[in-house]
Amino acid sequence: MTEFLQIDFPALICGTLAALVCALVGNFLVLTRQSMFGDAVGHVVFPGIVIAYLLAGTTAIWVMLAGAGTAALVTALLVEFLRRIAGVDPSTALGAVFTAMFALGVVLLEQSGLAGTSFDVHHILYGNVEAAIWPAATGPASLFNMDTLSQLPAQIGRLMIGLGLVTATILLLFKELRIVCFDPVFAATIGLRPKLVGAVITALAALAAVVSLEAVGVILVVAMMVCPPATARLLTDDLRMQVVISAVVAIASGILGYGVAAFLPSALGFDLSLGAAGTIAVVAGLFQLAAMLAGPKRRPARVA
């Protein structure tokens, strides 16, 4: 039990919270057909975080967010610039900008001597849920002891803050998000500022990417943003239900995915270790596959 609390519990919480915060934001990316934007955000926050760390010398969440937010803003401006000035197709512009930004992050990271720390490229790419440990835990009583709780990995605190901000924004702006995703032109005619609401979605996506980066990595952020909402969409026609179901799918993916990684190999007698970030994404993908095969709201492909 103590070993579970020290090693598995914090990692399980991190993986699950990361999946949850990404899935909640992902609903609005999927609805506005910006799924790949989620991928881009995940990639571009990486150089932002590296630069912010090099400048400030700390991984405090506000520093990380400032770096990530700046990187997201620079990306948006560059994409807009390429689109307007150079006449490049938007998805091409996005593809060019986010890969270039990501490459810049990799170069900076390698030159900075940060490799080998928690900023290891491998971990940035694939995530490292297992790095979250709780040595202070001594038994179930630790869960109710403020002193030991305060020694939980800082990552969990960051994820909780991110989750709180994302949840509060979605609850407060639910009707604005719904109308701007559905009919931005009509939203503009009633003075609901679609560009502002769109910027809020972008900001939430950057926030989710930053806080979940350590746990799931830039490549899997997009899986967490897309799979649970896309699964939920196939199970309901109600947006509120979709958001709730996506949260349930994300939590289930986090728990099952971690369980598979941590316990399945030894249970089957294999001596190998699975990265939990990867198994969480695979489980989320399996949920989506099941929904695509059997979900009640599947639609036949439209014949053009």
Partner 1 sequence: MAADGVLAPSRSDVQSADAMRSPPVAVHNLSVAYGGVPALIDVTWTSPPSGLVAIVGPNGAGKSTLLKAMLGLVPAASGEALIHGEKIERQYGRVAYVPQRSSVDWDFPATALDVVAMGLYRRIGWLRPVRRADRERARGYLETVGLSDLADRQIGALSGGQQQRVFIARALAQESSLYLLDEPFAGVDATTERIMTNVFRKLRADGALVICVHHDLGSVPEIFDHVLLLNRHVIAAGPVVTDFTPALIAKTYGVPLEPLGQAKAAPDDV
Cβ distance to partner 1 smaller for residue 146 or 185: 185
Footprint (CB under 8 A) of partner 1, residues 186-215: 186, 188-192
What is the rounded distance in angstroms from the CA atom of residue 280 to the CA atom of residue 17?
12
Q: Minimum CB separation from partner 1 for residue 236, in Å?
A: 7
What is the rounded distance in angstroms from the CA atom of residue 296 to the CA atom of residue 53?
47
Q: Which of 242, 246, 279, 288 binds partner 1 (CB under 8 A)?
A: 242
Contacting range for partner 1; rule: CB under 8 A; set: 56-64, 123-131, 151-159, 180-188: 180-188
Are 125 and 221 contacting, i.e. CB atoms less than 8 angstroms apart?
Answer: no
User: Interface mask (CB under 8 A) for partner 1, residues 273-302, using x and -?
Assistant: ------------------------x-x---
Radius of gyration of the chain (CA): 20
Under DSSP, is residue 6 helix (H, G, I), strand (E, B) or coil? helix
Q: Which of 4, 62, 81, 182 binds partner 1 (CB under 8 A)?
A: 182
Contacting range for partner 1; rule: CB under 8 A; set: 13-21, 66-74, 184-192, 248-256: 184-192
Under DSSP, is residue 300 helix (H, G, I), strand (E, B) or coil? coil
Are 132 and 153 contacting, i.e. CB atoms less than 8 angstroms apart?
Answer: yes
Q: Which of 125, 179, 251, 286 binds partner 1 (CB under 8 A)?
A: 179
- DSSP assignments along 253-270, one per residue: HHHHHHHHHHHHHHHTT-
Q: Does 269 bind partner 1 (CB under 8 A)?
A: no
Q: Count H helices, E strands: the chain?
A: 13, 0
What is the rounded distance in angstroms from the CA atom of residue 45 to the CA atom of residue 98?
9
User: Interface mask (CB under 8 A) for partner 1, residues 6-35, using x and -?
Assistant: -------------------------x-x--
Are 166 and 204 contacting, i.e. CB atoms less than 8 angstroms apart?
Answer: yes
Q: Minimum CB separation from partner 1 for residue 24, in Å?
A: 15
Alpha-helix residue ranges (DSSP H) falling in the chain? 2-3, 9-31, 35-56, 61-84, 90-112, 121-126, 146-149, 154-172, 174-182, 184-189, 194-233, 239-267, 276-294
Footprint (CB under 8 A) of partner 1, residues 157-176: 172-176
Cβ distance to partner 1 smaller for residue 230 or 260: 230
- Residue indicated by tokens 């605190």: 157
Cβ distance to partner 1 smaller for residue 221 or 243: 243
Cβ distance to partner 1 smaller for residue 158 or 233: 233
Task: Write down how long the chain is.
Answer: 304
Residues that bind partner 1 (CB under 8 A): 31, 33, 172-176, 178-179, 181-183, 185-186, 188-192, 233, 236-239, 242, 297, 299
